[in-house]
Amino acid sequence: MSAEPGLGEDRPDPAAGTQERAQERVEEPARETARGAGEPHGDPGQVLPLRPGDPGRLGPWSVVGRLDPDEGAPAPADGARRGPALVAAASDPGEAAAVLAAHGPDGAPARVVVLGPGPAGDAAARDRFGAAVAELGAGGRIVGASLDGPWPWAATAASDARTARLLARSPVVDGAAGVATRGPAFSPHWVGAPRPVAPAAAAPAAATAPRRDRRPWLLSALLGLLLLAALVLLLTGACQPTAGGPAPQPSSSQHSPQPSPQPSPQPSPGPSPSPGAEPSPGDGDPGPGEEGSPLLLGPGVVGPSFGPGDDTEVLTLEDLPFSFRVPAGWTCERAPISSPVVRYDCTSPDATSGGAVQLQPCPQPCGQQAWWSLQDLLAPGATWFEVDATTVAAEDSAPGREASYRLRMSHLLVAGEREESDLDALDSHLYAEFWSPEDERRAVQGIVNDLRANTP
């Protein structure tokens, strides 16, 4: 329903607004043609330095600096809404897009529009950007584009500032025309988000908790296997029985003779167990790793895992290709996030502890750079430590909660596979974040350890 002006308010003249937009479409190409005529090589306007986190190369284009996304835009009419401001730094998750100055392999200059991390992780914003690229590309105004990967981008001629401006606005404005309208301004959830700390500018972490280990993954995995084999050999040797006979019994000559014991009556067959007795390991449901069990045995992350006597429940949730355990009474509900991201929010019965489990595709190729981008997007500023070749974790306190504990995990896996992950076939990312009071950390450690054990 459209809002009508109230009594005493001026009604906007639709004909005047149409004339202004028509005049802009007529005058803008003329201004750009005149500007291009004065620049023999079609160079863009003033080139500003890149900021930390800006990409240095996009496809065949080598990025040399940043440009003003509103360069050459006509001044807005009084009362017209231009929409959210566009920030030029491509590493800021709260921006829509950045316009970068670049050169091709032949040295030809170009304007390259790249989405920021916020809209790049929003399916609706990516669709709007892709629709604008298709619409403008049909008119021959796009010289190159890539809509896949963590940095969707599109390139235009260096002198075509208007096309670059329309592409930069497309994540928050429907259609390539980019005509702003009157009315309330509805901003996406990622507009105004805090800028993450760039990896290069992060303060050095303590020696006991390195920021990131950049050793090759295969070398780390090999060292881990060697340490595990040495530990197994050590435990096997410690469990061997010692040589020698049984301990000597005290001599009976030192004590007075005792009467021979009388045989005790045999209990009747099939006695019922006493109340509160623990069932034997062979009773009930099969344990983790046993045939018929949905749970697997695997490595943990930090702290103790759930034991056989812990009161837990097995959760098998829709669209998650694995099961995991939580303490009895915990509940997990699916969050309203569009596919392909699957997220469940969990809480304890008294609501003093909780957390979330999120599974999403890893941008291809799913390598180290893509993994770091997902970590900075989901947990900006976290101090990670390496667990294994495909897992990192971080421990700290929950914001706004005194005497609290928080455990986060970032893990790469192969969706649907239950054997060892092939590092060349990784295609999914699992993020877990759970918190609790300081003295109840064992519960959330058990949940995260169970998630890692069941996602090889």
CA within 13 Å, CB half, 426: 22
- Report the pLDDT value the prediction gives residue 404, as an integer from 0 to 100: 92
What CA–CA distance (Å, rounded) separates 129 from 167?
7
| Distance, first Cα to last Cα, the chain | 52
Token look-up 């809209």 returns 119
* Alpha carbon distances (Å) from 146 to 89, 149, 158: 19, 8, 18
Asked if the peptide bond before residue 365 counts as cis, ω within 30 degrees of 0, the response is: yes
Asked if the peptide bond before residue 340 counts as cis, ω within 30 degrees of 0, the response is: yes
- Report the pLDDT value the prediction gives residue 117, as an integer from 0 to 100: 83
What CA–CA distance (Å, rounded) separates 110 from 100?
8
CA within 13 Å, CB half, 376: 24
Residue 109's beta-bridge partner residues? 103
8 Å CB contact between 282 and 313: no
| 148: amino acid identity, one letter | D
8 Å CB contact between 411 and 396: no
**Region for 409 from its dihedrals, namely left if φ exceeds 0, alpha if ψ lies in -120 to 50, beta otherwise:** beta
Q: What is the pLDDT along the chain (456 residues), one digit of tens a residue?
A: 444 444 444 444 444 444 554 454 445 444 444 444 334 344 556 788 888 888 889 889 899 999 987 776 665 554 444 444 443 344 455 578 899 999 998 888 999 999 888 888 888 889 999 999 999 988 889 999 999 888 899 999 988 999 999 998 888 765 444 444 455 555 667 665 554 443 443 444 444 444 555 556 778 888 889 999 999 988 887 776 555 445 545 444 444 445 455 555 554 444 444 444 444 444 556 666 565 566 666 677 999 999 888 999 999 999 999 999 999 999 999 999 888 899 999 999 999 999 999 999 998 889 888 899 999 989 998 999 999 999 999 999 988 888 899 999 999 988 755 455 556 678 899 999 999 999 999 999 999 999 999 887
- What 3 state SS string does the chain have? CCCCCCCCCCCCCHHHHHHHHHHHHHHHHHHHHHHHHCCCCCCCCCCECCCCCCCCEECCEEEEEEECCCCCCCCCCCCCCCCCCCCCCCCCCCCCEEEEEEECCCCCEEEEEEECHHHHCCHHHHHHHHHHHHHHHCCCCCCEEECCCCCCEEEEECCCHHHHHHHHHCCCCCCCCCCCCCCCCCCCCCCCCCCCCCHHHCCCCCCCCCCCCCCCHHHHHHHHHHHHHHHHHHHHHHCCCCCCCCCCCCCHHHCCCCCCCCCCCCCCCCCCCCCCCCCCCCCCCCCCCCCCCCCCCCCCCCCCCCCCCCCEEEECCCCCCCCEEEECCCEEEECCCCCCCEEEEEECCCCCCEEEEEEEECCCCCCHHHHHHHHHHHCCCCCCEEEECCEEEEEECCCCCCCEEEEEEEEEECCCCCCCCCCCCCCEEEEEEEEEEHHHHHHHHHHHHHHHHCCC
pTM for this model (two decimals): 0.40
- Report the pLDDT value the prediction gives residue 33, as an integer from 0 to 100: 40
CA within 13 Å, CB half, 252: 3
- Report the pLDDT value the prediction gives residue 353, as an integer from 0 to 100: 95
Beta strands 404-413 and 97-103 are: unpaired
Of 52, 98, 64, nearest to 195 (Cα)? 52
What CA–CA distance (Å, rounded) separates 90 from 171?
14
What CA–CA distance (Å, rounded) separates 323 from 318?
10
What is the chain's alpha carbon radius of gyration, rounded to the nearest angstrom?
32
What CA–CA distance (Å, rounded) separates 277 from 406?
35
8 Å CB contact between 157 and 143: yes
Structure tokens at 75: 């001044």
* Dihedral of alpha carbons 59, 127, 80, 16, sign: positive
